[in-house]
Amino acid sequence: MKTNFHTHCQRCRHAFGTEEDYVRNAVAKNLDQLGFSDHAPFPRYDFGNRMPLSELPDYLKTIDELKQKYDIPIFKGLEAEFHPMYQFYYKELFEDYKIEYLALGEHFYTKPNGEIKNIYFAESTKDYIDYANAICQGIESGFFAFVAHPDLMFLNPFPWDKNCQKASELIIKSAKKHDTILEFNANGYRRKQFPFPDGERYPYPHMNFWNMVKNTNIRVIVGSDCHEPHQVFDEKVELAYQTVRSLGLNVVDTIF
C-alpha cells in the first residue's frame, strides 16, 4: 500500500495549502490511505508554530467532510509533544474530539528539573539523554501510534559520541518494549546535507540510529512530514523508502 500518516496543512502557520489540497495530491499520487497530523495546539501553553486551540474543531470538521467527499480512507490525527501534565488532554483528544491517532512529535521536552527546552537548541549531547527520556515517557504513556522523527536531535552540530549512542538505545529499547512504530522521516531529506563535525550528512535521518534499529524487529513507517501539498509522496519519500528497504528494516505501510 501507498500511504502517508504525517501530513501538515496551513493551519500550523508554517505549512502551505488546505486539507483538501493534500487530499487531492494524495489521490493524484494513488495513495491508499492518508493521515492528517498537523501540529496539535495545547491548552495553557503555546509551543508556537501551530493552530490556535480555538481552530481545532474546524480542522477536525474539515477532515470529516473530506472523508465523506473522497474515496480514499482519510484519518484524523495530530502530531503532539509529550508532557506528563497533558495526560488529561491526550485523553480528551481521543474521547471528546474523536481523533483517530496521535504521532509523538517531540520538539520540546521537559528536563528532570521541570524546565521545558527546545531540542533545536541543544547545548551539548548531554541534552539528548533528557530528550530521549522524554520520548520514552511518551511511548510509555500509550497515547501515540508512532514516534515521528525519533532521531530529530541529530540536527544539532555535535559529533556522534557515547550520549548519542545512549540516547538512541533508550528510544529503541522503549519502542521495542512497547511495540511502538518508529518513523523514518522524509522531511530530513528536504533539508540540505550539511558539513557536520562527523561528516557531511542530512540533519536526520541519522544512519547510526537506523543501523541500530536494523538489529531489532521494530516496525518502521516512512513519513513524508509534508508541509506543501506536492510533498505528500514526492522524490524524498521515494528516497526514504529506498533507504529503509536497503537497510532491511521492518517496514510497515499503515499504523492501523
Interface ranges with Zn ion (CB under 5 A): 79, 225
Q: Which is nearer to Zn ion, 107 or 219 (CB)?
A: 107
Cis preceding-peptide flag for 205 (omega within 30 of 0) = yes
Q: Rounded to an integer, what distance in angstroms lies between the CA atom of residue 50 and that of residue 36?
A: 14
To Zn ion, the closest distance from the beta carbon of 50 in angstroms equals 8
Q: Rounded to an integer, what distance in angstroms lies between the CA atom of residue 250 and that of residue 182?
A: 10
Q: Which is nearer to Zn ion, 19 or 225 (CB)?
A: 225
Burial status of residue 43 (CB atoms within 10 A of its CB: 0-12, 13-18, 19 or more): exposed
Percent of the chain as helix, strand, coil, to the nearest 5: 45, 20, 40
Q: Which is nearer to Zn ion, 127 or 225 (CB)?
A: 225
The answer to whether 30 and 232 are in contact (CB under 8 A) is no
To Zn ion, the closest distance from the beta carbon of 7 in angstroms equals 8
Cα 56 to chain center, whole Å?
A: 19
**Closest residue to Zn ion, Cβ-based?**
225
The answer to whether 78 and 51 are in contact (CB under 8 A) is no
To Zn ion, the closest distance from the beta carbon of 12 in angstroms equals 6
To Zn ion, the closest distance from the beta carbon of 68 in angstroms equals 26
Q: Which is nearer to Zn ion, 125 or 206 (CB)?
A: 206
To Zn ion, the closest distance from the beta carbon of 39 in angstroms equals 6
Which amino acid type is present at position 216? Answer: T
Q: Which is nearer to Zn ion, 125 or 146 (CB)?
A: 146
Burial status of residue 18 (CB atoms within 10 A of its CB: 0-12, 13-18, 19 or more): middle
Q: Which is nearer to Zn ion, 9 or 139 (CB)?
A: 9
Strand-pair partners of 250: 219
Q: Rounded to an integer, what distance in angstroms lies between the CA atom of residue 75 and that of residue 92?
A: 17
To Zn ion, the closest distance from the beta carbon of 215 in angstroms equals 27
